[in-house]
A and B are shown apart, each in its own frame.
Chain A
Amino acid sequence: MTDSPSPGFDRTVALARVGGDEDLLRELIDDYLRDSPGWRDDLRRAAVGGDAAGLRRAAHTIKGAVGYFGADAAATTADRIQIRGRAGDVAAAAADLPELEQTLDRLATALRAFVSDRPSSSEDLS
């Protein structure tokens, strides 16, 4: 977790974003795990279709979402895609996709582990 930039999930950053509310963080993770496959589809479709504006939009959405979890590596790559998309450079933006996909996979794994690790704060005793 201390390697830089952190590829996965930074719990401290994530909790700060939600004012320490772990339940809210879990809800946000659920939102993310539900919606992110769609964003990644949008991204791939835009890359295949040569749609610079679509790339920019999808990358912007992903960047904003992974920011909740302190996923710096994913945010940095998404930001680069967004900038290249805005500049209309579809080829350069698309070249970053595999790297982004990898970091997003790792993030999703870390998030799933976090959610399943402690299903809810009240069921742990016994």
Chain B
Amino acid sequence: MTPHESGAAGAADPNAPDLRTVLVVDDSAMDRRLAGAIIHKAEGWKAVFAGNGVEALELIPRVSPDVVLTDMLMPQMDGLELVEEVRAKYSLTPVILMTAHGSEDLAIRALKKGAASYIPKQFLAQNLAETLDQVFSAAQTKVSERRILDTVMRSETQYEIENDSAMVAPLVSHLEGDLSRMGLCEPSGLMLLGVALHEALTNSIFHGNLELKSEQRETDEKGYYRMAKERRYQEPYRDRRVRVVATLTRDEATFLVRDEGLGFDPSTLPDPTDPANLGKVSGRGLLLIQTFMDHVEHNATGNQITMVKRRAG
């Protein structure tokens, strides 16, 4: 690909500094020449070239670019599609867009899809070197973080929360984050898992610690929540806590949720797999948990639930 056919000469010289690579993707030879010349002058960078998105995707595994710099409007595969592909396959490789007059809308869509930055073409000479450095250093931070996370083999975290339902959503989203970083769950499965955790935590606050009955919610929802609010500050409910232990390994996540309420006889639980219980408020929570988790178990006193989610695939 013209101009300046790749930077292979530099790599052959053992004394040559270790240059970072930009993959320039543009169907215009003039644009490639300009970008190539600026990159050549910028300290520490070299350029390789592709004429469209398809060629770029073929080149990426061979040249492992540190940054991809792409035009928006190109035949074959345009900049928007390229951003999507790179994000999906090489999530740590940042993509910078070059925009011309008339491609701004497309560029905004590409930024929403995860492009790292953009430069208007007429300011390439002024802004490219600085943008490359910025985007590269931000990406490096992510790479180091990912490397450390890859070394985590097991993590166990204990949480203790008051009977405040406002704490449930933030805790669930925090747990989801840990799970996702550990690579235990796909984004789609994550949402379902979040629903299950949400149910378990809500159960232990309302039914466990605050001793409220689901039947009451079915008949008088307002009264149910009013009573929950009052009991938060009353003896003996107010000193009770919900304890959560999240244990993550490479293969599975275990969530233990324990309340300090009176408990119940787990054998009296309605069969959550019976469709007749689907419509009931009380059966629903446990049904969701049973569906989304790979293993669920209660302790004998009914104030602790253990849920296991195994790595998908």
Contact = CB atoms under 8 A, between A and B. Distances in A.
Interface of A: 16-21, 24, 27-28, 31-32, 35, 57, 60-61, 64-65, 67-68, 79, 82
B3 to A, nearest CB: 8
B28 A64 contact: yes
A93 to B, nearest CB: 16
Main SS of chain A's interface residues? helix
Interface residues of B, number: 19
Given A24-B37, A31-B30, A64 B125 contact: no
B30 A18 contact: no
Contacts of B178: none
B122 A35 contact: no
Contact of A65 (B28, B101, B122, B124): B28
B34 interface: yes
B35 to A, nearest CB: 11
A60 B33 contact: no
- The 9 nearest A-B residue pairs measured at CB: A19-B125, A31-B30, A24-B37, A28-B30, A31-B29, A65-B30, A64-B28, A18-B125, A64-B100
Given A24-B34, A28-B33, A57-B75, A17 B122 contact: yes
Contacts, number: 48
A50 B94 CA distance: 40
Nearest to A56: B73
A21 B75 contact: no
19 contacts: A16-B122, A18-B125, A19-B38, A24-B33, A24-B34, A27-B33, A28-B30, A28-B33, A31-B29, A31-B30, A31-B33, A61-B27, A61-B28, A64-B30, A64-B31, A64-B100, A64-B121, A67-B122, A82-B102
